[in-house]
Amino acid sequence: MSVSKSVRIDDPSGFHIRPAQLFQEAASRFPCDIRVKTEDGRQADAKSVLGLMMLGLAQGDSISIEADGEGAEEAVETLVSLIRGGFGDSS
Amino acid sequence: MKETIFYGKGVSAGIGIGRLYVYSPPETAASSGSEAAEPLRALERAKEAAERDLRRLIGKTEREAGKDKAAILSGHLSILNDPMFYGDIAERIKAGEAAADAVRAVARRLAEHFRAMGSGYMRERADDIDDIAARLLRGLSGDSGTSLSAMPDGEWIVVAPSLLPSETAELDLAKVRGLVLMRGGETSHTVLMARSVGLPVVIGPERLLDSLRHGETAAIDGGTGQIVVGSDFTALQQRMADRRREEAALAERYRDRPAVTADGVRVELAINIGSAEEAELVHRHGADGVGLFRTEYLFMQRPVPPDEQTQFEAYRRAASLLRGKPAVIRTLDVGGDKPAAGLGSAGEANPFLGFRAIRICLKRLDVFRTQLRAILRASAYGRVMILVPMISHVREFVEAKAEVERVREALEKEGAAVAHHVEVGPMIETPSAALMARALAREADFFSIGTNDLTQYTLAVDRLNEHVAELYDHYHPAVLKLMKHAADCAREQAKRVGICGSMAGEELAAPLLIGMGIGEWSMPAASVPAIKRYVSKLTSATCADVCRRALELEEPGQVRALLERTRREALGE
């Protein structure tokens, strides 16, 4: 089963290393494959900090989070709310 | 023993004495010939060793420098385990590549990708990749390096071409007395780290590496950039102790005296600071206030600008530490050669002529307003003034001032406490600002002449370029004429005029500045007592005469000779 959801990045710093780390850690808790896709069609493994950072995401960019397999739905929900919640820290 | 003195650039203040520890980063070009029989196992072991090292370093850094400074190392841990890093390396080894070659290839590809990214913050991440790759290669070659962690007991001054963040974290502060680096800017991670723990740092020219030998005794002064090598330890210690005693005695003698010429002309001596805490130095050195608070340090090493509250707390802290003495806060001066917090645009062909300082602020009003809000809110806690850098058009200053007014009105509407009047002045650091000084003076509450950039722009010399650096001299009569013109225009309209370039902290310049009627000098705190002493030996008639004669000369060397003579006569040396 494949699940996908879009979300806009509001954090002014985009995806610098700490948000990327928090995102990757959260993603790694799920067994399923998770990908982050940009509007211009690039994608990265959600379990790779480097991949996430290399997308060069900035404030205002929209991304879609897609997951396949066990726990896909929960994984997407968790990651979307992590981004919406500003990663629970403001730095 | 014969003594040699070298000159570098002091970037983290303090004096360090010890033996030179010449650190050469481990040779990471391990030949593929020494490849282990089971390269995958070797890689795994190297990774485990790297993880252990990093965890230890993270703990050490958190204890010594705070959680903030350890964040970069915890990032290393994530990258080390990343599928795009470790995973790709393992894949290549499985496909038959030698382990070290695989590490280098993957690291090179990733680093290239980051270096090509738009933001300065992301480009710096390429250094992280290099750092981790070097660590992994060390594990593979079984070479633990000259190793900074296994430094023998003693007092050492570490000499290195440059230090990676993880190498900096490795330094044992119980043994290290200072750093001499060949590369690394004033805002590099290593230098910021050293400043936060009070470790002296001098950045020297590259050729210094050939002149400094392991084990020699040396003293470095992170304020003046001096490196004294070859004397014996006790003698050096003695000399440094003598110097510190002399300085302390001078400071003691002049602390409670104002800077006044023999015939009663008063000059205000203020200090330059880069963080709020340094405001305390005003009292210790008997200065009259802070003449230049460089706010850009708050913006360095951050992916985005600090928020209003963070800035407000820093400015308020400086204002309250000053206990009523004034603080001139310079608005954000980044861009060009020093992009910070994602501001400015890197890779400009002429960074010094490019997108920097007020030019950024007027385009990024969100950033500018946040800073102005923080400064104005801090004005309720002390005497705060606003200095606007890099003005080349009168309208830039007019716009900046209007922005200050808008922000003030908004704050007052919100009911926030703001001082009744906060003075705003331009920095005079471009020839155009100096030449337009009459118009600027009508708009300004005060001037501050920035002689470093003014010299660079007037003489068209990049002082960081060693081929032309000898042409750079702030005593060039052309620079002096611009300064004089700006000072005259300010005084015509009864506006105060100050100076905040490195000329202000030089004893030599004192008679010139007094002669020009520049009444507020901002300098490194340590220079205050010596300047007070010299000022007290001068008379305004001498100064007027020196100034008039200097302006008629043709070469900076002639001006220096005149100033040297004046100083010798006044101090009776």
Q: What is the CATH number of the domain that holds A40?
A: 3.30.1340.10
Q: Is A80 assigned a catalytic role?
A: no
A18 to chain B, any CB pair closer than 8 A? The answer is yes
A74-83 average pLDDT score: 93
CB atoms A51 and B82 under 8 Å = yes
CA separation for the pair B129, B520 (Å, rounded): 47
The pLDDT value recorded for residue B206 is 74
Q: Which residues of A touch B83 (CB under 8 A)?
A: 45, 47-48, 51
Q: Measured between CB atoms, which of A12, A21, A51 is closest to B75?
A: A21
Neighbours of B24 (CB within 10 A): 12
A45 to chain B, any CB pair closer than 8 A? The answer is yes
CA separation for the pair B131, B89 (Å, rounded): 16
B342 to chain A, any CB pair closer than 8 A? The answer is yes
Q: Measured between CB atoms, which of A13, A50, A51 is closest to B304?
A: A13
**Residue contacts between A and B (CB atoms, under 8 Å):** 51
The pLDDT value recorded for residue A90 is 38
The pLDDT value recorded for residue B371 is 98
Q: Which residues of A touch B125 (CB under 8 A)?
A: 17, 53
For A3-41, b/e burial (b = at least 16 CB within 10 A) is beeebebebbbbbbbbbbbbbbebbeebebbbbbbeeee
B115 to chain A, any CB pair closer than 8 A? The answer is no
Search chain B and give the residue with CA nearest A51: B84
CB atoms B71 and A45 under 8 Å = no
Search chain A and give the residue with CA nearest B71: A18
A32-59 average pLDDT score: 91
CB atoms A51 and B85 under 8 Å = no
CB atoms A48 and B84 under 8 Å = yes
Alpha carbon distance, N-terminus to C-terminus of chain B: 28
CB atoms B84 and A51 under 8 Å = yes
CB atoms B84 and A14 under 8 Å = no
φ and ψ of B305, to 5 deg: -60, 150
Domain hosting residue A32, numbered range:
2-88
Q: Which residues of B are catalytic?
A: 189, 500
Q: Which residues of B touch A50 (CB under 8 A)?
A: 79, 82, 84-85, 110
Q: Measured between CB atoms, which of A14, A24, A56 is closest to B78?
A: A24
The pLDDT value recorded for residue B426 is 98
Domain B255-571, what fold?
A: TIM Barrel (3.20.20)
CA separation for the pair B550, B276 (Å, rounded): 38
pTM recorded for the entire structure: 0.70
CB atoms A56 and B117 under 8 Å = yes
DSSP state of B504: G
Query: How high is the mean pLDDT in each 10-residue block of chain B (573 residues)?
Result: 79 86 66 62 90 88 79 88 94 91 93 82 83 87 67 89 81 90 72 78 83 87 84 75 81 90 97 88 92 88 86 96 96 77 75 91 96 98 97 98 97 95 97 98 98 94 75 95 98 96 91 98 89 96 98 96 96 81
A51 to chain B, any CB pair closer than 8 A? The answer is yes
pLDDT at residue A61 is higher than 80: yes
A16 to chain B, any CB pair closer than 8 A? The answer is yes
CB atoms B307 and A48 under 8 Å = no
Domain at B32-141, CATH from 2.40.30.170, 1.10.274.10, 1.10.357.10, 1.10.10.410: 1.10.274.10
CB atoms B84 and A16 under 8 Å = no
pLDDT at residue A91 is higher than 60: no
DSSP state of B493: T
CA separation for the pair B219, B208 (Å, rounded): 15
Residues with Cβ within 8 Å of B455's Cβ and at least 6 positions away in sequence, in order, are B461, B463, B472, B473, B474, B476, B479, B501
CA separation for the pair B203, B294 (Å, rounded): 20
CA separation for the pair B567, B44 (Å, rounded): 67
A12 to chain B, any CB pair closer than 8 A? The answer is yes
Distances (CA, A) of B152 to B4, B155, B172, B434, B540: 25, 9, 10, 55, 57
Contact B457, B431 (CB under 8 A): yes
Residues with Cβ within 8 Å of B137's Cβ and at least 6 positions away in sequence, in order, are B26, B28, B30, B46, B100, B103, B104
Search chain B and give the residue with CA nearest A54: B114
The pLDDT value recorded for residue B340 is 72
Q: Which residues of A touch B342 (CB under 8 A)?
A: 13
Q: For an interface test with B, give the residue of A10, A28, A35, A49 to mutate (most B CBs within 10 A).
A: A49
CB atoms B71 and A51 under 8 Å = no
The whole-angstrom distance between A38's CA and the closest CA on chain B is: 16
CB atoms A13 and B114 under 8 Å = no
A86 to chain B, any CB pair closer than 8 A? The answer is no
B189 to chain A, any CB pair closer than 8 A? The answer is no
The CATH H-level (homologous superfamily) assignment of domain B4-25+147-243 is Phosphohistidine domain (3.50.30.10)
Helix (H, G, I), strand (E, B) or coil at B220: strand
CB atoms B303 and A49 under 8 Å = no
CB atoms B121 and A16 under 8 Å = yes
In percent, the amount of chain B with pLDDT more than 70 equals 93
Q: What is the 3-state secondary structure (H, E, C) of A20-80?
A: HHHHHHHHHCCCCEEEEEECCCCEEECCCHHHHHHCCCCCCCEEEEEEECCCHHHHHHHHH
Could you state, in order of their start, the residue ranges of all structural domains in chain B?
A: 4-25+147-243, 32-141, 255-571
The pLDDT value recorded for residue B185 is 63
How many structural domains does chain A have? 1
Of the residues A6, A8, A12, A16, only one is catalytic, namely: A16
Contact B478, B458 (CB under 8 A): yes
Alpha carbon distance, N-terminus to C-terminus of chain A: 35
CA separation for the pair B201, B237 (Å, rounded): 18
The whole-angstrom distance between A49's CA and the closest CA on chain B is: 7
Contact B272, B500 (CB under 8 A): yes
**Paired strand residues for B4:** B229
Q: Measured between CB atoms, which of B113, B118, B303 is closest to A13?
A: B303
Beta strands in B375-480 (DSSP E): 383-388, 424-428, 446-449
B552 CB-side CA count, 13 A: 7
